[in-house]
Amino acid sequence: MSASATALAEAPATEGSLKVIQDATCTFCGCVCDDIDLTVKDNHIIEAKRACVLGKAWFLNHKTEDRPSCLIDGQPASLEAGYDRAARILVEGKYPIIYGLSDSPCEAQRVAVSIADWINGTIDTTTSVCHGPSGMAFQGVGEVTCSLGEVINRGDMIMFWGSNPAESHPRHFTKYSLMPKGMFLPNGRKDRTCVIVDVRKTKSAKAADIFVQIKPRADFEGLWALRALSKGIDLDPVQVKRDTGVELAVWQDLMHRMKACKFGVIFFGMGLTMTRGKHANSEALLALTRDMNAYTRFVAKPNRGHGNVTGADNVVAWRTGYPFGVNHSRGYPRFNPGEYTTSDTLANGEADSGMTIACDPMANFSEPARRHLASIPYIALDTKETPTTRAAAVAFTVATYGIHTGGTVYRMDDVPIPLRPSCESPNPSDLEVLTQIERRVKALIGITG
Amino acid sequence: MTIEYTKISGGTVYDPANGIDGLVRDLWIVDGRIVEPPTDPTVTPTKTIDASGLVVMPGGIDMHCHIAGPKVNVARKMRPEDKRKGEQIHRTNVTHSGTMGSVPSTFATGYKYIGMGYTTAFDAAIPPLGARHAHEEFEDTPCIDKGFYVLMGNNHYVMQSLQRNEPERLKAFIGWLLASTKGFAPKLVNPGGVEVWKSHQAGNVSGLHQKVDHFEVTPLQIIQGVARAADELKLPHAVHIHCNNLGMPGNWTTTLETMKALEGHRGHITHAQFHSYGGGDADENTFNSKVAPLAEYVNSHPNLTIDVGQVLFGETTSMTGDGPLGYYLSKVYGGKWFSGDTEMESGCGITPIKYKNKSLVHALQWAIGLEWYLLVEDPWRVVMSTDHPNGGSFLAYPQIIRMLMDRTYRQDILKTCHPLVRERSQLGDLNREYSLNEIAIITRAGPARILGLKHKGHLGPGADADITIYTPHENKEIMFELPRTVIKSGRVLVDQGEIREVLTGKTLHVDPNYDRDMEQGIQDWFEKYYSIRWRNYPVDLSYLHESEIVPMITSP
Ligand code: SF4
Ligand SMILES: [Zn+2]
């Protein structure tokens, strides 16, 4: 198992000398740029060529914290003691939950799902709090989509809906969606039309040829106006303006352009998936995209956030059959978002033990969920100290994936990409910690497989 | 040091590759392989499995299914309703839990195959960009050996090399692509058609002679070019072809032309059932079977092999690398639809479907599949498949075996079908019944030979000790669905219907010899158009946990 995680590791730089790691992968956002050239000196990254501001900060500001690898009840402890205690917490719980995963490589995610299976636990990822609604919309209507290279080579109409890549995915425009010269778009940006639909004038809006500012929480109405127009249905201009905050003529012009393009792409973000309507919004957008294929080629793509949230969806799905929010209490996987998703199992006071992996629910979750988490024994894995690690019964400080450790991550278009670690860490990887815990869990409950 | 022998004693052995048709034989196993019986009569085995009164065969081989990788996983994510309805796989002290439905989770897939006596399976359609994903799933698909075919019928570099009339470059590219993905064989899916789909509304090619725009090559050129390259590279398995026009009335002429285009080369036509339809241009009212003329062509052309792609009545999920087909099916069935285009390489379509015995088209599809088994004379050149899950689940194989071995059973099913099926297919007149030996050929010995797997599909010395032991039964479905014992790599994984032990299983792949000087040209092209870096594309050995390089053959 650990072989794949370390295979791309290259010899550490010797003191004082410079070492260059070519085509390293940045995991800071869903773009998962795999073209970063890192210069390493004395086990520190001093240059990250081609990385954006966020990527540079990720690589350059990154430091190994002077913090014990393991803390039990806030006191430094040996890793062995931590693994033992962690396994006991998980095995003794009646309703153990495992949550996070989106900033871990697939190799570690797989072990986390195994542990959930052995302990009849619930496994959930941060998808449930970001793009879960699009996952459910996808289960309703399907999706017409493509890999990002198709956008580069064919996308002549690029739309962003409720997504602000200029701030959330800084290289999105230059690397994938607007600027590149593609096979069928030799002039790059000049050959593409960019449309941005949002409730406010975001930083990204500057890049748009057409900016459509809709009323807050009117995404659903806007998408339905477009769906109706695509089918040639007459709409009442007064009502459209009232419902969407945008003139009917603007929607008509947009639909006209959408039908006239050769290969349209709609990227959507949490501005769509996490506002009123949630999965109905995503469903309307996916349905619109599907409708458009009666006239031309059109695809949709969620702009996923965390580095490997897409990998988490994939790993949980191939192992259990469901993408997130999976409960094993009956000895087999069951899926029910809203019931087995972590914010719910915590807020409802059901979970009685848990493990968080590279996530910070103590900072992000609702007050009742946080209060309940603080009241139960849980294990936290993170690269740094957070509110969640502080309240954990066992906290492991782990090495950073993509910097210290290798493995596989999935880009937001489901393309798997290997990591090239560049530095060494005194801390174990999350894969190592999880593997050690799994070994003990299996021994405690008598699993021989 | 003493050698540890396992002996399977007194079984009635069906080993068609070695000419053994139901003879009582002992089998000796050392270190996961079958060996000659020890010459020293005093040697006693460490372990003896008494197989007297039981039927012993090599482990089954599924040469065409969809069990791993991007599109299979999308289907899982898209269809929770299918999984909720399906069987639930409970965790035990040796096995993981899982879910079934038409697209089982990875562990469930491995357990169900081994539980049915199948020890090897090949996923038939992996986009190279998703190869790493397929390998990751393979590691979580236990108990069986596995490999995959690499989609290349719409690959830009393939088409560009053909356009420029550079067969040597094409050959090098295919060698490089198989080596980079750790794949097993070249796969064509609707050659040329998927590229047209990517650039035109409802785009597709209509037949073998339509030019693919931009590249100015025809499906015919792609088929012939890749078939030739596969032979020249001496790949263990020939080009594996999903023909153009799948599912369309009248498509049999396209299939016949494809077969003719393979003259002088090896070629495998997959899920032939979906490609054997008569009838007017997209006119379902004239839909009928054209297996007879196609099977006759196959019978007289030993360079060709087929697998069937049998349809079973019930609900399933259609998943294909054929993007335009997915669009067509989603319109026919009106359900949710996934389409995913992969840059430079391939497409993908997924939609839920349901085959009904009262539907004339569906009942004909069912009959056409059976006709294929019954009309190909040489069982070594027809292989059992459902194109899992497209025609139905791989778990239907025992039922198909019964339909082939028991004509009364299949005629009884025919009676429940739409009445016009008897007029539009000749299934009602076919009396052939398969023997156990022939079943052993179409489910293990044949696919092993067609895939070039010298250590599989037989029980002679040197073979992998992948062995299935069945309790004979009048009802062949019962006999084949629950084997008494299943041995994988010499270890008893299944006994009395229960999984006793698990192993990961090997990944089978090829490492062809190709002209490395061509790599620079490939790299230049790659760096111009792909969204990932050249260095991050090849799947390195760390993704292969247990694996075996299947050697090239000496002559095609
Ligand atoms: S765009 Fe995202 S992945 Fe790329 S360098 Fe910036 S933060 Fe990293
Ligand atoms: Zn197939």
**Domain locations in chain A as residue ranges:** 70-130+307-401+425-444, 132-302
Cα dihedral A272/A273/A274/A277 (nearest 10): 80
pLDDT digits (tens, 9 = 90+) for B417-429: 999 999 999 999 9
Check if A150 contacts B (Cβ < 8 Å): yes
Burial class for B42, CB neighbours closer than 10 Å (0-12, 13-18, 19+): exposed
pLDDT digits (tens, 9 = 90+) for B471-526: 999 999 999 999 999 999 999 999 999 999 999 999 999 999 999 999 999 999 99
Ligand 1 centroid–CA A225 distance in Å is: 34
The strand ranges marked E within B51-90 are: 55-58, 60-65, 88-89
**Stretch B202-216: mean pLDDT:** 96
Query: Residue B201 and residue B179: Cα distance in Å, rounded?
Result: 35
For residue A132, pLDDT over 80 is answered with no
Check if A296 contacts B (Cβ < 8 Å): yes
Contact A293 B327 (CB under 8 A): yes
Query: Residue B85 and residue B87: Cα distance in Å, rounded?
Result: 7
pLDDT given for residue A307 in this prediction: 83
Contact A135 B105 (CB under 8 A): no
A303 three-class SS: coil
Instruction: Specify the residue with its C-alpha closest to ligand 1, atom 2.
Output: A29
What is the average pLDDT value for chain B, to the nearest integer? Answer: 97
The CA distance from B356 to the nearest CA of chain A, in Å, is 23
Least confident of A47-56, A115-124, A292-301, B36-45: B36-45
pLDDT band at residue A14 using 50, 70 and 90 as cut-offs: low
A169 lines ligand 1 (CB under 6 A): yes
The CA distance from A7 to the nearest CA of chain B, in Å, is 6
For residue B201, what is the DSSP state? T
Q: Say whether domain A132-302 belongs to CATH 3.40.228.10.
A: yes
Residue ranges with CB less than 5 Å from ion ligand 2: B 124, 387
Task: Report the DSSP beta bridge partners of residue B144.
Answer: none
A445 three-class SS: helix
Contacts of B88 (CB under 8 A, 6+ apart): A330, A332, A333, B97, B99, B100
CATH number corresponding to B57-499: 3.20.20.140
Query: Residue A81 and residue B498: Cα distance in Å, rounded?
Result: 37
8 Å CB contact between A148 and A180: no
For residue B341, pLDDT over 50 is answered with yes
8 Å CB contact between B347 and B154: yes
Whole-angstrom CA distances from B413 to B358, B371, B374, B398, B475 are: 11, 14, 16, 15, 15
Check if A325 contacts B (Cβ < 8 Å): no
Residues in A closer than 8 angstroms to B541, CB to CB, are 7
Q: What are phi and psi of B240, to 5 degrees?
A: -110, 115
Minimum Cα–Cα distance from B323: chain A residue: A144
pLDDT band at residue A3 using 50, 70 and 90 as cut-offs: very low
Residues in B closer than 8 angstroms to A115, CB to CB, are none
Residues in A closer than 8 angstroms to B535, CB to CB, are 22-23
Ligand 2 centroid–CA A332 distance in Å is: 29
pTM score: 0.96
Query: Residue A37 and residue A23: Cα distance in Å, rounded?
Result: 5
Q: Among all ligands shown, which has an atom nearest to the Cα of B325?
A: 2
Q: Among all ligands shown, which has an atom nearest to the Cα of B187?
A: 2
Contact B106 A318 (CB under 8 A): yes
Ligand 2 centroid–CA B385 distance in Å is: 9
Tell me which architecture the domain covering A70-130+307-401+425-444 has in CATH: 3-Layer(aba) Sandwich (3.40)
Q: Which of A296-305, A306-315, B396-405 has the highest mean pLDDT?
A: B396-405
Quick one: which atom of ligand 1 is closest to the CA of A29? 2
Contact A147 B343 (CB under 8 A): yes
Secondary structure (DSSP) of A115-127: HHHHTT-EEEEGG
pLDDT digits (tens, 9 = 90+) for B247-258: 999 999 999 999
Residues in A closer than 8 angstroms to B140, CB to CB, are 110, 318-319
A29 lines ligand 1 (CB under 6 A): yes
A305 lines ligand 1 (CB under 6 A): no
8 Å CB contact between B468 and B108: no
A28 lines ligand 1 (CB under 6 A): yes
Ligand 1 centroid–CA B258 distance in Å is: 46
**Domain locations in chain B as residue ranges:** 57-499
Ligand 1 centroid–CA A19 distance in Å is: 22
